[in-house]
Amino acid sequence: MAVILDGKELARKIRQNLREEVDALKRRGILPKLAVILVGDDNASKIYVKNKSKACEEIGIDFEEYVLKEDIQMDELKNLINSLNEKKDIQGILLQCPLPPHLDVNEALKTIDPKKDVDGFNPLNVGKLSLGQDTFVSCTPYGIVKILEEYNIPIQGKHVVILGRSNIVGKPLIQCMLQKNATVTVCHSKTENIKEFTRQADILIVAIGKAKFVTMDMVKQGATVIDVGINRSEDGKLCGDVDFENVQKTASYITPVPGGVGPMTIAMLMSNIVKAAKN
């Protein structure tokens, strides 16, 4: 049976360390502050923002929320972002996605000052990550790297197979793994014979948004399996993209859902805000 990679406990330890760092910054007169922009009335987005607010409160980071109407125009959104770019008391800016379809998300993310882009989505920061330069790393990939490091799971020279090529997880994760000297294969919706690739993986990272998609016969004996998915099973329970109950019999390490990658994503956001405040 696999060792369970406890992202919840690791995230707790990281938040504790960050709280001490924030206290030290405050003694120097630096007050870390995050501004979050929420457009519209999406319930899932509201929950995500609430969780970020709670994490900020726990660590001692000031939190400011800007709730905009669903029908806001692009110019108005960009004007708000630019005004937050100018505010010296705000170190981090986060645009909660998805946005309503009439708004250009790429244009909005490009408007965020790269020095305040704590989500790591500004094209400049994406480019710096590709070049191996110091930058803000997208929070979910950053959290995955931290989990692997915490459990001393070797990455160098290993074959990492990533299912999913999103801008939020898959693409930045490729760069993170290459920087750790892994051999990286990316599979996606157009990949044929996915099982042939997944069965080669020393580390299999799954981020495709399909409940229990990865089954035991798709995983090499002794592999490490990282499940990024958050879905609802047929009985309404939270589950990942991996058939956890069966895959854990084959894997050597595996993340649960919930309690794996999810808590680490918010912990690494907090880490990025503290980094922005230090800078």
Please confirm, yes or no, whether 73 is among the known catalytic residues. Answer: no
In contact, 238 and 232? CB cutoff 8 Å: yes
- For 144, half-sphere exposure in the C-beta direction (CA atoms, 13 angstrom radius) is 29
Single-letter amino acid, residue 232: R
In contact, 218 and 193? CB cutoff 8 Å: no
Identify the active-site residue in 33, 52, 128, 275. 52
Please confirm, yes or no, whether 71 is among the known catalytic residues. Answer: no
Helices (H), the chain: 7-27, 43-59, 74-86, 105-111, 123-130, 139-150, 170-179, 194-198, 244-247, 261-278
Identify the active-site residue in 96, 220, 241, 248. 96
- Please give the angle made by the CA atoms of 75, 37 and 260, to the nearest 5 degrees: 140
Please confirm, yes or no, whether 104 is among the known catalytic residues. Answer: no
Single-letter amino acid, residue 130: S
Give the torsion sign (CA, 164, 119, 36, 274).
positive
Identify the active-site residue in 117, 119, 202, 227. 119
Q: Decide: helix, strand or coil at residue 224.
A: strand
Q: Which residues are catalytic?
A: 52, 96, 119
